[in-house]
Chains A and B, each alone.
Chain A
Amino acid sequence: MLEVRDVEKTFHPGTADEVCALRGVTLSVPDGSFVVVIGTNGSGKSTLLNAVAGTFLPDAGSIRLDGEDVTRWPEDRRARKVGRVFQGPFSGTAPTMTIAENLALAARRGKARGLGPALTRGLRREIRERVAALGMGLEDRLENEIGTLSGGQRQALTLLMATWVKPRLLLLDEHTAALDPKTAEQVIRLTKTAVEEGRLTTLMVTHSMAQAVHFGDRLVMMHRGKVIHEVAGEEKRGLRPEDLLARFEEVRRSDRLDAAAAGLLRSFYV
């Protein structure tokens, strides 16, 4: 269970670069549920995920995770509970280390790291099996530097890393946006499998209309640092892309979103 309450974040306060990225966001993700976040570029989606992961501390508000108040916890401590896949395929892996070493790092998420060998024989075997299950043929390249792989392969491995130790919360930030359509499809299928098999509590930001409609049991729309709309339950299950467009229109009419931004949303998702 994730509970974000009235979280605010302003970057570079008091300077010419001041950006009010989150203006009081409240959001909850119950255990086992899958919440999808959409919104215009710069609406604060990544900032919200960063606030939850602890990349920075919020200016105001509170964040509870798994029954604990983690608002002041540093990022590495929250990582005990949180698994993450970033937008850029380069963000989630250590490029000059091998595939096996990267996965070994992930296998100790939230555990002490001492002078034991990182890659034991047992772990190697497990890595081989789980990498083989991705169906990308990477199990024979475990000793290759991960930086030599394609973006899609790296995202698939980052997903495996984020879920290797079962996270209490999985954060996905447009993790297929940088991939070509075919690879994106492959990675999203792996995501579905991982989330369903692990019954993972998931918060996913997406750029894709299809993903927004087909994934998750709740949809959250963000604009200018605020949650402006939610679709849940029956309504979410029956949601079609047209409905979503209509929602954008509605939001525009109800004047919470000015015409320019709605146009932007449209050009984004259509």
Chain B
Amino acid sequence: MNLLIGSLTIGFILSVLALGVYVSFRVFAVADITTDGSLTLGAATAAVLLVRGTPPGLATLAAAAAAAAAGTVTGVLATRFRIPSLLAGILVMTALYSVNLRVMARSNIPLLSVPSLAEVAGRAGERLSGGARSVGVLGWEVAVRDLAMLGGAFLVAVAVAALLYAFFRTNLGTAMRATGNNAQMVRALGVDTDRTTVAGLALANGLVGLSGALLAQYQGFADVQMGIGMVVWGLASVIIGEALVRSSRLGLALAGTVLGCVLFRLLIALALRWGLDPNDLKLVTAAFVFAALVLPRLLERSARRKKVSGA
């Protein structure tokens, strides 16, 4: 049960990252590797501020802003300087590795003894439960603090998805979606696509940084390595989400991304429990994304071949 609650909590926290990847990958059709660096940047910024006694909410917002700035740099490289977006992302991700070490001043910052959102959630949970430290859930004894963090992560994920949904239906938001859809057309309708692209990558990375800040507070530490492979994690979530909802409608796609991320986290937790070596995790994730990208095409081709030979 604790494993389940932990997995769900991380799933919801990472779904904020997955929503960010949805924005860059699906809305703007950019595989944005900045993600790997900006997740860490978010975690690092939050950690450093928390250690200095900044209120947790403020530290988390600052983390998102820092990561959004990183996304802005990628966007400017890709538009103003016409560097291919993949390369722009690689450059910024690489630069961020140094930046993150500078921000943290070491490779790992423990957060267990400083006030953080995890503590805020824990206290709120104890107030709700009337002071009890644990409650029974389906016959299992569960720490109220863990349940509260799950609830908090769930609320954040739902709030972020809802805000994104609302934003993408505004004038600016529809112009951003149209930029990824048909840039030529939106320019002809008076939209500066360079600006919408920069704004979109800033938004995407801001969400990734927010996710990193939450993850650091939940885990109780920030680590300079924690971003490695996270863009692939986000892609996997987006792809699973699409398979779940089977629709490109905005609302369903966003909901699917959150569900996809949580489901993927649960599957990984099960796999780890069944003996998957944690060292193989990134390999498995990458292989999964590869399969998810290629299999539909192969299936389609074989279906077509069958149709042809059947006819």
Q: Which residues of A are at the interface with B, using a C-beta cutoff of 8 A?
A: 53, 74-77, 79-80, 82, 84, 86, 90-97, 101-102, 104-106, 108-111, 113-119, 145, 161
**A94 nearest in chain B by CB position:** B181
Q: Is A76 within 8 A of B173, CB to CB?
A: no
Bound CA–CA A158/B175 (angstroms): 16
Q: Is A76 within 8 A of B193, CB to CB?
A: yes
Q: Is A117 within 8 A of B169, CB to CB?
A: yes
**A113 nearest in chain B by CB position:** B171
B71-84 near A? 1/0 per residue, CB < 8 Å? 00000000000000
- In addition to A105-B175, A113-B172, 5 A-B residue pairs with Cβ atoms within 8 Å of each other are A76-B193, A105-B186, A113-B191, A118-B173, A145-B248
Bound CA–CA A74/B190 (angstroms): 10
Q: Is A113 within 8 A of B181, CB to CB?
A: no
Residue B184 is within 8 A (CB to CB) of chain A in the complex: yes
Given A91-B182, A95-B182, A145-B248, the answer on whether A113 and B175 have CB atoms closer than 8 Å is yes
For the complex, would chain B's binding face be called helix, strand, loop or mixed by DSSP majority? Answer: helix
**A106 nearest in chain B by CB position:** B189
B171: chain A residues within 8 A (beta carbon): 104, 108, 113-118
B282: chain A residues within 8 A (beta carbon): none
Given A93-B182, A104-B174, the answer on whether A119 and B191 have CB atoms closer than 8 Å is no
Bound CA–CA A92/B189 (angstroms): 10
CB distance from A68 to the nearest CB of B (A): 15
Bound CA–CA A84/B182 (angstroms): 14
Given A94-B178, A97-B178, the answer on whether A117 and B193 have CB atoms closer than 8 Å is no
Q: Which residues of B are at the interface with A, using a C-beta cutoff of 8 A?
A: 167, 169-175, 177-178, 181-182, 184-193, 248
> Would you give 12 A-B contacts (Cβ < 8 Å), ordered by A?
A84-B188, A91-B182, A96-B248, A101-B174, A101-B177, A105-B191, A108-B190, A114-B171, A115-B171, A117-B171, A118-B171, A118-B174
CB distance from B247 to the nearest CB of A (A): 10
CB distance from A76 to the nearest CB of B (A): 5
